[in-house]
């Protein structure tokens, strides 16, 4: 289990498993695009004061395991992750736009689940195994 954090008047340990897909499930998350995306995601987490515990992509989707505080609102975290990453990735790799109609990188939907001490190990292994098939 990730460490327990002590705040002013509260104690917490909050982790989420988050998954979202590219628009039209286009298989574009590979090579330099994947590398840049992971760096962007790490920077977004740092800027918004939450931590990425695990990150892995497959060709058309991304999995994250994040650790955050009770002050974080999950829709805002996902909005920042998807919005900023799309803008920066499309700016650094304009060739992506040719593969996508309408210029959108991400599908608007996402999956999110809370992670407990009983499921954290399995989720970490699942995320790490995304490229192994």
Q: Express each pLDDT in 12-32 by its tens digit.
A: 999 999 999 999 999 999 999
pTM more than 0.85:
yes
Evaluated on CA atoms 82, 85, 88, 90, the torsion sign reads negative
Burial of 18 (0-12, 13-18, 19+ CB in 10 A): buried
What is the average pLDDT across 1-14?
Answer: 85
pLDDT (tens digit, 9 = 90+) per residue, 46-73?
Answer: 999 999 999 999 999 999 999 999 999 9
Q: Mind listing the pLDDT tens digit for each residue in 68-114? A: 999 999 999 999 999 999 999 999 999 898 888 777 999 999 999 99
Contact 128, 56 (CB under 8 A): yes
Task: Decide if 114 contacts 15 (C-beta within 8 A).
Answer: yes
The pLDDT of residue 2 is: 66
Can you identify the CATH homologous superfamily of domain 5-128? Answer: Transposase IS200-like (3.30.70.1290)
10 a catalytic residue: no
Kindly state the greatest CA–CA separation across the chain: 51
CA neighbor of 40 nearest in space, from 76, 100, 91: 91
**Which own/partner contact pairs does 89-96 have at CB distance under 8 Å and 24+ positions apart?**
89/33, 89/36, 89/37, 89/40, 92/36, 93/32, 93/33, 93/36, 96/28, 96/33
Distance CA 117, CA 115 (A): 7
Q: How far apart are CA 122 and CA 65, in angstroms?
A: 11
Give the start-to-end residue ranges of the domains of the chain.
5-128
- Selected catalytic residue, list 12, 16, 110, 126: 126
Instruction: Return the higher-pLDDT residue of 40 and 95.
Output: 40
Q: In the prediction, which pLDDT does 39 show?
A: 98
* Alpha carbon distance, N-terminus to C-terminus of the chain: 27
**pLDDT, position 118:** 84
Q: How confident is the model at residue 1 (pLDDT cuts 50, 70, 90)?
A: low
pLDDT of residue 74: 97
């Amino acid at each position: 289990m990730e460490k327990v954090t002590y705040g002013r008047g509260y104690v917490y340990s909050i982790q989420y498993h988050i998954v979202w897909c590219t628009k039209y499930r286009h298989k574009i998350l590979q090579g330099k695009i994947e590398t840049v995306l992971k760096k962007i995601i790490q920077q977004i987490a740092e800027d918004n004061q939450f931590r990425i515990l695990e990150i892995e992509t497959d060709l058309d989707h991304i999995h994250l395991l994040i650790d955050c505080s009770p002050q974080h609102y999950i829709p805002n975290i996902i909005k920042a992750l998807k919005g900023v990453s799309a803008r920066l990735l499309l700016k650094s790799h304009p060739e992506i736009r040719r593969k996508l109609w309408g210029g959108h990188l991400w599908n608007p939907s996402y999956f999110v689940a809370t992670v407990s001490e009983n499921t954290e190990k399995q989720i970490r292994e699942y995320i790490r195994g995304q490229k192994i098939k």
